[in-house]
Amino acid sequence: MTNEHLKKPMPSVEKQADFYQKLRSKVQNWVDGKPGVVGTVSGYVLFAPDLFHLLTKMMLDSRIDSKSKAAVGAGILYFIAPIDFLPEILVGPGGFLDDVVVAVFIINTMLNKFPTEVITENWAGDEDLLALVKKVSNSGNKYVSKLPAGRLVKRFTK
């Protein structure tokens, strides 16, 4: 990537909102088409667009320092990387499950570093962010830790 790409302006707020809504709709349609098969995993996949949106908003928040933004940027890159532990190109929106794990890890780290409102003011999801982070973290031991990304996150937090 050249510096020219980095100097391009962010998409307009309307384009960002349009992308966010399209992603939410795509994930919701996928989940609706997999009743019973996906089970509890689908609940986590539904949060992927909201978590991605939160990470992008955190990158623009002047209250967050550059070192923390590097971690947030890594989370965004993990979402958009074509190859990760569960590639979306192979498993569809179900591939967002590992992205959710990484995003929750980063968000939880930011919640421990900054006042809660710095993070929650950027949240656009329907569910309470703190409850979501707690739910995903609690179930991590049961479900998410079986995923390669879950094992990787645990390795870095020991």
- Does 4 map to a domain? no
Average pLDDT in the 1-5 region? 49
Residue 35 located in a structural domain:
no
pLDDT tens readout for residues 51-93: 998 999 999 999 999 999 999 998 888 888 777 666 665 666 6
Within 10 A of 42 (CB to CB), how many other CB atoms are there?
20
Angle at 70 between CA 67 and CA 75, to 5 degrees: 140
Q: Report DSSP letters for 66-107, one per residue.
A: HHHHHHHHHHHHHHH-S-SSS-HHHHGGGGHHHHHHHHHHHH
> For residue 69, is it within any domain?
yes
Percentage of the chain modeled with pLDDT above 90: 22
7: in domain: no
Total of domains in the chain? 1
Q: Which domain holds residue 88?
A: 41-157
Question: Could you tell me which residues come within 8 angstroms of residue 98 by beta carbon, excluding any fewer than 6 positions away?
Answer: 84, 85, 86, 147, 148, 149, 150
pLDDT at 124 over 80: yes
Per-residue pLDDT reduced to its tens digit, 23-49: 777 777 777 776 665 556 667 777 888
